[in-house]
């Protein structure tokens, strides 16, 4: 009897990998990632003076008596509406004595000219309020091999696939209003524990007070004062609307100061209540996350002022 050798196949290994990805960014070519440029029209410079009780001579607060406008060149067409409004009346006509009144009148005049046409086209001077980043990627790795072991044919394979999605959306036009609300938030009252006396007309003695520095200071206010070289615990009143947009950066805000209790997530079309619409895979500053967030880290992370 003749014995024939057992036939065996040479072991084979096959592998393949595929990496795919796409990133979509929505921002203007002019402003890019300079978020404070989107809503910048120019410098609104307010002149404030102390106000007094005519009977007692004691200071009652501060009042804006004049607002000057210096048009900017970042959004020249939109700035033209404001410039035209400030040229309608003489400076001393009483139309530019309060920032809120000026803002409401100017906003009404601007809205009448720059609303969308038939809800189809944006009108002249409309500002872009869209800034978003979206990234989607996938990684696929596959390998398989086969070999004959004795009388057995053995096959083995492995397959790995990873899908990644990241998204970040913010409404940049609301940043100026948010900065205005957060700056000087702790300086709204007078410090009656210290006063300065000065003579006035008709024998009236004026009693002046400095601003009271309260403990309820915002993170944005602290970081802004630090960037301007001011004492974070000082009483300097910051006129946000008179500053250049290059002064600001998104990391001056604490996360909750931009998310605003999630109002932007609940009602993303209302920019008055929330700036950040949503974000995942990125932090609140549009930086890509490199590690998986945990509840423990979120709960223990504290925003420390002054450190």
Cα–Cα distance, 26 to 133 (Å, whole number): 6
Structure confidence by residue, pLDDT tens digits, 281-307? 998 899 998 888 777 766 665 544 444
Q: What is the pLDDT of residue 261?
A: 58
Whether residue 97 contacts residue 67, with contact meaning beta carbons closer than 8 Å, is answered with yes
Structure confidence by residue, pLDDT tens digits, 26-60? 788 889 999 999 989 999 999 999 999 988 999 99
Percentage above 70 pLDDT, the chain:
81
Domain ranges of the chain: 25-128+170-300
């Amino acid at each position: 009897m003749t014995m024939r050798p057992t036939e065996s196949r040479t072991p084979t290994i096959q592998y393949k990998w595929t990496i795919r990805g796409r990133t979509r960014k929505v921002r203007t070519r002019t402003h890019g990632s300079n978020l404070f440029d989107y809503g910048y029209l120019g410098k609104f410079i307010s002149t404030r003076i102390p106000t007094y009780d005519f009977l007692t001579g004691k200071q009652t607060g501060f009042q804006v008596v004049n607002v000057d406008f210096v048009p900017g060149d970042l959004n020249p067409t939109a700035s033209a509406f404001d410039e035209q409004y400030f040229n309608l009346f003489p400076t001393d006509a009483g139309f530019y004595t309060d920032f809120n009144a000026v803002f409401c009148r100017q906003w009404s005049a601007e809205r009448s000219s720059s609303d969308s046409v038939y809800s189809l086209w944006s009108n002249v001077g409309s500002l872009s309020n869209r800034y978003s980043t979206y990234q989607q990627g996938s990684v696929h790795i596959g390998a398989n091999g086969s070999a004959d072991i004795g009388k057995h044919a053995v096959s083995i394979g492995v397959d790995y696939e990873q899908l990644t999605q990241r998204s970040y959306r913010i409404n940049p036009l609301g940043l100026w209003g948010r900065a205005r609300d957060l700056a000087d938030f702790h300086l709204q009252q007078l410090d009656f524990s210290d006063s300065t006396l000065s003579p006035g007309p008709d024998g009236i003695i004026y009693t002046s007070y400095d601003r009271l520095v309260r403990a309820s200071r915002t993170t944005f206010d602290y970081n802004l004062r630090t960037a301007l070289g001011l004492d974070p615990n000082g009483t300097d009143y910051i006129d946000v609307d008179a500053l250049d947009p290059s002064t600001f950066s998104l990391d001056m805000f604490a996360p909750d100061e931009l998310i605003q209790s999630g109002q932007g997530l609940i009602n993303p079309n209302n920019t008055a209540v929330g700036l950040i619409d949503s974000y995942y895979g990125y932090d609140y500053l549009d930086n890509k996350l490199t590690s998986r967030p945990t509840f423990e880290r979120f709960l223990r992370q504290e925003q420390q002022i002054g450190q």
